[in-house]
């Protein structure tokens, strides 16, 4: 297959941890052709969606790839396009999904499906599976947020468009800085945010469950907060520990996996703290390499198997 990756700059990859690199390495070992381009390489020209894409080859060295000269190519000429661009999920990200969806009309096969990415805000989409979530409020109204704190005493406040734990605040029973945090996150009542009852089991890890092609990876990566930090995100300094899924983890995963796969979400990362679903990641889920390195289970192989089948 000719696989085109829409991604962040290759030069910035940490190949010891990057899940997109793990996908590329597995695909290369199966003799698939690899191409890469970035959002600014996309365009609608002459009635079709094209990209300035570079064919790349993996070297196995520190300088991990070699790239040919970029060439303009209609997206439907590739066998598959993989959307692996990290958030922020801003309007430029949305515009890229419009272009990718337009390319689908010409026959391009894009994963995850662009419309499905748009329709599944990574924070908001947990509300569809309310049987698995902690008490949650989504609003920009300060009065509602204060009532929520009064009811649940210790809460988490976070933006709906963040990643890597950015902008996440814990407010304790004393309500210290609650007003200032609400003003900052809601931009004085103009931006909608999420509040959730604090889940103390976060000290045992914020677990990443991976769903691939409607099936469940049998291991989770528990991202454990360090020191006085409440965020387990690896980007916020959390330490990842791979572990088998608990019975309740498996129940969550097996409930969501077929539903989301049917919508064109080939790869999903569910975040679970304790027994509660906290996020459904669909843009560029990670943790492939950490799980593989610690357990021997080849997550990238499972992904490329699913991609070939799809």
Whole-number Å distance between alpha carbons of 120 and 116: 6
Q: Is the CB of residue 204 less than 8 Å from the CB of residue 224?
A: yes
CA dihedral 244, 247, 251, 254 (to 10 degrees): 40
Run of H or E residues at 170: strand 169-171
Residue 145, helix vs strand vs coil = helix
**CA separation, residue 296 to residues 11, 26, 39, 243 (Å):** 27, 14, 34, 12
| Tokens 């805000």 belong to residue | 121
Active site residue ranges: 123, 158, 208, 223, 231, 271, 279, 281
Q: What string of DSSP letters covers 294-305?
A: HH---HHHHHHH
Run of H or E residues at 110: strand 110-111
Sign of CA dihedral 285, 159, 117, 41: negative
């Amino acid at each position: 297959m000719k696989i085109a990756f829409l991604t962040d700059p290759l030069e910035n990859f940490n190949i010891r941890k990057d899940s997109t690199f793990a996908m590329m390495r597995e695909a290369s070992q199966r003799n698939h052709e690899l191409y890469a381009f970035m959002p600014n390489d996309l365009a609608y020209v002459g009635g079709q969606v094209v990209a300035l894409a570079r064919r790349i080859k993996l070297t196995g060295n520190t300088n991990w790839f070699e790239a040919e000269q970029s060439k303009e190519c209609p997206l439907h000429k590739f066998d598959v396009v993989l959307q692996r661009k990290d958030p922020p999920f801003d309007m430029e990200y949305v515009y890229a999904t419009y272009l990718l969806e337009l390319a689908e009309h010409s026959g391009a096969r894009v994963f995850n499906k662009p419309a499905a990415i748009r329709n599944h805000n990574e924070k908001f989409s947990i509300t569809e599976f309310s049987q698995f979530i902690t008490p949650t409020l989504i609003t920009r109204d300060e009065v509602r947020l204060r009532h929520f704190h009064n009811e649940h005493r210790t809460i988490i406040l976070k933006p709906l468009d963040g990643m890597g734990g950015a902008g996440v605040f814990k407010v304790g029973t004393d309500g210290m800085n609650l007003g200032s945090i609400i003003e900052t996150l809601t931009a004085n009542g103009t931006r909608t945010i999420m509040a959730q009852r604090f889940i103390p089991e976060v000290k045992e890890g914020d677990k990443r469950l991976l769903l691939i092609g409607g099936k469940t990876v049998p291991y989770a990566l528990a991202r454990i907060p360090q020191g006085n930090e409440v965020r387990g995100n690896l980007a916020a300094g959390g330490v990842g520990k791979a572990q088998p899924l608990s019975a309740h983890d498996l129940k969550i995963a097996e409930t969501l996996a077929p539903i989301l796969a049917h919508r064109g979400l080939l790869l999903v990362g569910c975040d679970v703290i304790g027994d509660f679903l906290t996020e459904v990641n669909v843009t560029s889920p990670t943790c492939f390499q950490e799980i593989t390195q610690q357990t021997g289970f080849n997550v990238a192989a499972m992904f490329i198997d699913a991609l070939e089948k799809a």
